[in-house]
A and B are shown apart, each in its own frame.
Chain A
Amino acid sequence: MLHFSKWSIWVTLGILLLGIVFAAPNLLTREQAEGLPSWLPHKQISLGLDLRGGSYLLLEVDVEGVIRDQLETAKDAARDVLQKAKVGYTGLAVENGKAVVKLLNPADVDKVRQSLRDIDRDMTVDIDGAGNVSMSLPDTVIQQRQVRAVEQSIEVVRRRVDETGVKEPTIQRQGEDRILVQVPGVSDPAELENLLVKTAKMTFQFVDQNVSQDQIDKGQVPADDEILPMDESNGRAGMPAKMAIQKRVMVSGEHLVQAAAAFDQNGGPDVQFKFDSVGARQFCAATKDNIGRLFAIVLDKKIISAPRIQSAICGGDGIITGQFTVAETSQLAILLRAGALPATLTKVEGRTVGADLGADSIAAGKLASIMGVVLVVVAMVIFYGMFGLFADVALIFNGILLLAAMSLLQATLTLPGIAGVVLTLGMAVDANVLIYERIREEMRNGRGPVTAIDQGYRGAMGTIWDSHITTIVSAIALYAVGTGPIKGFAVTLGIGLVISLFTAVVVVRLITATWLRYVRPKELPL
């Protein structure tokens, strides 16, 4: 056990050296580390939100709503199809997971069958002899679309978070229908939450000017109209609180390719946007034939503004004006750029840690770690003398390697993670304690120094393996099912244990062997 081949010595020293090199960037500030040339190790340990401050949000995607929305869309499309074909219908509605309509004249069925099927190729369209049409989605398609909705939501959330300019956000899917958003440095999450849960579905629809204000108040509007409120925050003076809007969407916000907060000629904040070619064509067609009508810009079923069309707009550019503040226009621009959420998001968990609390936690964690190390280091020297010192050297390297490994793997250090580190310190010396006590026994049995050490290592190894593996088993269990703080703890505990096997056994053995070779003691100071 005491013989080291040349190469194994070099490998051991190499690992220790690499540990130092990869741990070193942590001594620098974040800016300094980022400024390092790329061929140098520059990764720093990443701190959990509980240590650096920030917000953690768990959002749930309303996947049931997605399907409902798609049926609504199918219903609207069916209306268009029937109107275009000049087919009389009644009872157009979405009910029990189906879009249904009854054709007044069953003989019309053949006129519209193909067009109804074309609305959504994945939909099952059933038409009976009496002219009852029902459109529904098969279960597999529902599942696929829900998965896609979650993925799209993640994408939209990611874009919105990115647009706000916060650094190093983490956006992940969690479970089937949840999105985990972690943003460091944000201490007031209310604004961010607002931004994230907004649907941001923008549409351009005509105002139905044939409906009087009185009818709107009474809620008496044609079936193809809907009553929408003005957005309170920028309702213009002199504009009614509610308007009757035609349900038919002329241009949808999906066709926006650019949106930016800007200012109009009078210096008032507005949002300027640009359509893609399809959007530009639709916008052009809609404006050309309807000069003089009110054209409403609707965001999440609220009217942002309803300007009168002065002339055909065919360049694909547009401006949204309203009584906005600068903050509102920049938020609106972000929402428009990032696109609409395909589903409603609900916050199901939220945690925010202020930056100063995080700093306090780091300070406390540092102090606790240092105190823990000092106590253990001193105790080892008192009880094992020089051998204790060997173990202490290994312990220090344990710390360095742990830091290096966590920086390299970009594992997140959390406050419970620091607890894991402190705990592994105690357990790391256990291996050495086992070995040293075994050596003492061998000495009492009358062995010479070299044999005692050799047999001590041999005897203790089995036990060390067993004790490490059982703890690693529980660390893996913690990692597999744990969330947040538990996971952070499991990571440091697991990495720490593997490293302690190396430092406590290999490194200490190397030091001991070297010492034996050069000093050749007659008896061991143990």
Chain B
Amino acid sequence: MFYRPVHLIPPNTRIDFMRWHKFTFAFSLFLVLGSFALIFIKGLNFGIDFEGGILIEAQSQGPADLGSLRAQLDGLGLGEVSLQEFGSANDVLIRLAHQKYTDADQQLAADQVKKERPGTRADELPRLAAKRADQNAQANAVAKVTQSLGTAYSVRRSEFVGPKVGSELIQDAIWAIILSMVGIMGYVWFRYEWQFGVNALAALVHDCVTTVGLFALLGYEFNLTTVAAVLTIAGYSVNDTVVIYDRIRSELRRYKKMPLAELLNLSINETLPRTVMTSGMTLLSVLALYFFGGEVIRGFSLAMIWGICIGTYSTIYVAAPMLIYLHLRREKVGPAEKAEAEKRP
């Protein structure tokens, strides 16, 4: 009468996940240390959100000739010009570093300021002139590039971020990350034993650090949107961890004598169908985002794809097995609740 749905994970699956946990600890450690090494040695390709600078997206009628465009723009003397195909062969992303100004520029700017505000005090002048010179330099650079692009390209987007704003945005981003991590850990701590909170945080840091490491490895631009992705991964990862922790806690109450490793295996296996389904489903929607969402959020989607995979892995192989080492005192988990005792005869 009814369609029988597919059961992806057969019931009573009993995979011995914990058997490999020492190996996976080493692997995770390798990932995290490797990420740190990449971040500090190779460095992140910070976008203009954080570095300050100028970004121009231009579109040509036919496929853009990056070689000649590069030669053309290099000739403008605007410092390092980075060119990159963006999505399609017709789209080019042009990035300029924050433009420096010379002493002559500053002199010129000082004249301008004096002209416009003759009342300016001598001790105020350098500050105002520097500001003005800086602004002129950015505006001139954009004008030069736009002029050089001429009619062959149409400018689709232009962004300018001042260095001061850039450093503030970094601060904001770091605050966002710290705040959400503290909030999440606090909640897990409040709901479970402290060991759970610590482990959830460890898994969280593991996921976020490796995501950032991936960006360092691939040299993808790291910008505000990427930070949003990292934070979402944090949320997703904890979500996944919490589901399994819930199960572990209830099994701890149920099987007072079962060795912890065995109990973790049981809990992970019991929740495996859900883990696979949810990760799979979320992965599907993020894949749709990656392939169809357009170039602007491709970096974001990539981070999410990685995050979903690593988040699922870290729940099983970081958050759960670490409980073995943190001397979880089982009597503190509390007696089996009445409802739970009734439910499982």
Residues of A within 8 A of B (CB): 50, 58, 62, 64-65, 68-69, 72, 94-95, 190, 199, 226-229, 300-302, 344, 346-354, 356-357, 360-361, 364-365, 367-369, 371-373, 375-376, 379-380, 382-388, 415-416, 418-420, 422-423, 425-427, 429-430, 433-434, 437, 440-441, 444-445, 455, 458-459, 462-463, 466-467, 469-471, 473-478, 480-486, 489-490, 493, 525-526
Contact = CB atoms under 8 A, between A and B. Distances in A.
B288 A422 contact: yes
A199 to B, nearest CB: 8
Given A65-B128, A354-B154, A425-B285, A444 B11 contact: yes
Nearest to A175: B168
B126 interface: no
Interface string B268-307: 0011011001101111111111011110110011001000
Q: Which 8 A-B pairs have the closest CB atoms?
A: A364-B294, A426-B282, A525-B2, A477-B180, A385-B5, A372-B285, A474-B235, A372-B288
B300 to A, nearest CB: 6
B288 A371 contact: yes
B232 interface: yes
Contacts of B139: 190
Interface in B1-29: 1-8, 11
Interface stretch (B31-39, B159-167, B327-335): B159-167
Nearest to B223: A485
Contacts of A226: 118
A127 B121 CA distance: 23
Contacts of B270: 441
A443 to B, nearest CB: 10
Contact of A367 (B164, B235, B292): B292
Contacts of B179: 477, 480-481
Contacts of A385: 2-5
Contact of A470 (B158, B176, B188, B273): B188
B160 A423 contact: no
B224 interface: yes
8 contacts: A68-B124, A386-B2, A419-B289, A422-B286, A426-B281, A426-B285, A463-B247, A493-B232
Interface of B: 1-8, 11, 57, 115-121, 124, 127-128, 131, 135, 139, 154-162, 164-165, 169, 172-173, 175-176, 179-180, 183-184, 187-188, 191, 224-225, 227-228, 231-232, 234-236, 238-239, 242-243, 246-247, 270-271, 273-274, 277-278, 280-289, 291-294, 296-297, 300-301, 304, 339, 343-344
A347 B160 contact: yes
A29 to B, nearest CB: 23
B288 A368 contact: yes
B187 A469 contact: yes
B116 A301 contact: yes
B176 A463 contact: no
B242 A467 contact: yes
Contacts of B274: 430, 433-434, 437
B205 to A, nearest CB: 14
A477 B159 CA distance: 26
Which secondary structure dominates where chain B touches chain A?
helix
Contacts of A380: 281
B297 A386 contact: no
B284 A379 contact: yes
A482 B286 contact: no
A213 B171 CA distance: 55
A318 to B, nearest CB: 24
A367 B283 CA distance: 16
Given A72-B119, A430-B239, A474-B234, A383 B6 contact: yes
A97 to B, nearest CB: 10
Contacts of A301: 115-118
Given A474-B235, A482-B176, 12 more contacts: A50-B296, A62-B131, A68-B124, A422-B289, A423-B289, A425-B285, A426-B283, A426-B285, A430-B282, A459-B343, A474-B180, A474-B184
Contacts of A440: 7, 11, 273
B12 to A, nearest CB: 8
Contact of A384 (B5, B183, B293): B5
B273 A437 contact: yes
Nearest to A360: B294
B284 A483 contact: no
Most buried by A among B180, B227, B234: B180
A77 B160 CA distance: 41
Nearest to A242: B115
| Most B C-beta atoms less than 10 A away, residue of A367, A386, A478 | A478
B140 to A, nearest CB: 12
B131 A346 contact: yes
A305 B168 CA distance: 44
A214 B194 CA distance: 84
Interface centre among B115, B270, B289 (most CB of A within 10 A): B289
